Amino acid sequence: MILIWTTILLLTMSSFCNGHGYLKEPPSRSSMWRYGFNTPTNYNDNQLFCGGFDVSKCGICGDRWDGSRDNEAGGIYATGIISRHYTEGQTMHVEVKLTKQHGGYFEFRICPNNNPSRRATQACLNRYLLRQPDGSTRYYPKGGSQTYSVQLMLPPGLTCTQCVIQWIWNTASNWGCEGGQCGRGFGHQEQFRGCADVLITSSGSHSNNNPAYPSNNRIRLYRMLTDQFHTS
Ligand SMILES: [Cu+2]
């Protein structure tokens, strides 16, 4: 009987667990309205958690996979409006606002989708797992409910008329096991996600005219360096 009531209490508590975080800079499709864009208002932009811990598959932008996926092409928040412009290979400044801290880590990916009316795929995003200047791909938010700043290096040679930047927050609020280790944060965790549409222009002549570093080879090199970190 105690077990049953404990279970009910835990289920109730988890359903009260609202809010949590969103991609603020570049502003996500659901958050652009907060930063001066004439886009649909989503007050629940900090709640794009794919439907919760129990789901096994996530929409790339945090929608329920089996739902209407409002944050992907065709959805109401995916207006196709580009929120930020960058130059190829630059270090970009990213901000994530957490409204409730759940530990874990962030990862960021980018996909040169070049067509706002077509859904980006996780396979495309996985080709470009973004790195911080120190080479690491995971950012651990160590603090409370606040805005976190992350520097990310854009891939050399990558330009696009529409790139999708994906933020994934793999939280650490649940107990699980992974690779023989068990504890809070191991194994399957609730994820929050966000997608932003950006544009990346060429840095100028030198990137294409240098025969020693043709951009395709640089992209290939970047992929080789990041391949080991790719997830499914
Ligand atoms: Cu929560």
Q: Which two tokens stand for residue 121?
A: 């795929």
Q: Is residue 158 part of a domain?
A: yes
pLDDT recorded at residue 218: 53
pLDDT digits (tens, 9 = 90+) for 220-230: 555 555 443 33
Question: How far does residue 53's CA lie from ligand 1's centre (Å)?
Answer: 9
pLDDT digits (tens, 9 = 90+) for 159-205: 999 999 999 999 999 999 999 999 999 999 999 999 999 999 998 74
Q: Compute the C-alpha angle 65/158/138, nearest 5°.
A: 55
Q: Is residue 12 part of a domain?
A: no
Nearest C-alpha neighbor of 188 from the set 63, 50, 69: 50
Q: Is residue 5 part of a domain?
A: no
Q: Is residue 48 part of a domain?
A: yes
Question: How far does residue 190's CA lie from ligand 1's centre (Å)?
Answer: 8
Question: How far does residue 215's CA lie from ligand 1's centre (Å)?
Answer: 42
Question: How far does residue 176's CA lie from ligand 1's centre (Å)?
Answer: 16
Q: What is the mean pLDDT of residues 102-127?
A: 98
Contact 108, 96 (CB under 8 A): no
CA terminus-to-terminus distance, the chain:
41
pLDDT recorded at residue 222: 53
Structural domains in the chain (count): 1
User: Which domain, by its residues, includes 45?
Assistant: 18-227
E-strand spans in 21-157?
21-25, 84-87, 91-98, 105-112, 147-153
Does 84 have pLDDT greater than 90? yes
Question: How far does residue 130's CA lie from ligand 1's centre (Å)?
Answer: 26
Q: Compute the C-alpha angle 139/142/144, nearest 5°.
A: 125
Better-scored residue on pLDDT, 88 or 227: 88
Q: Is residue 232 part of a domain?
A: no
Name the band, by pLDDT with cuts 50, 70 and 90, for residue 148. Answer: very high
* Per-chain mean pLDDT for the chain: 87
pLDDT recorded at residue 67: 94
What pTM was computed for the model? Answer: 0.82
Q: Is residue 4 part of a domain?
A: no
Question: How far does residue 138's CA lie from ligand 1's centre (Å)?
Answer: 20
Q: Is residue 10 part of a domain?
A: no
Question: How far does residue 156's CA lie from ligand 1's centre (Å)?
Answer: 37
pLDDT digits (tens, 9 = 90+) for 47-72: 999 999 999 899 999 999 999 999 99
Question: How far does residue 198's CA lie from ligand 1's centre (Å)?
Answer: 29
Nearest C-alpha neighbor of 40 from the set 51, 28, 52: 28
Q: Which CATH number does the domain housing residue 23 bear?
A: 2.70.50.50
Q: Is residue 11 part of a domain?
A: no
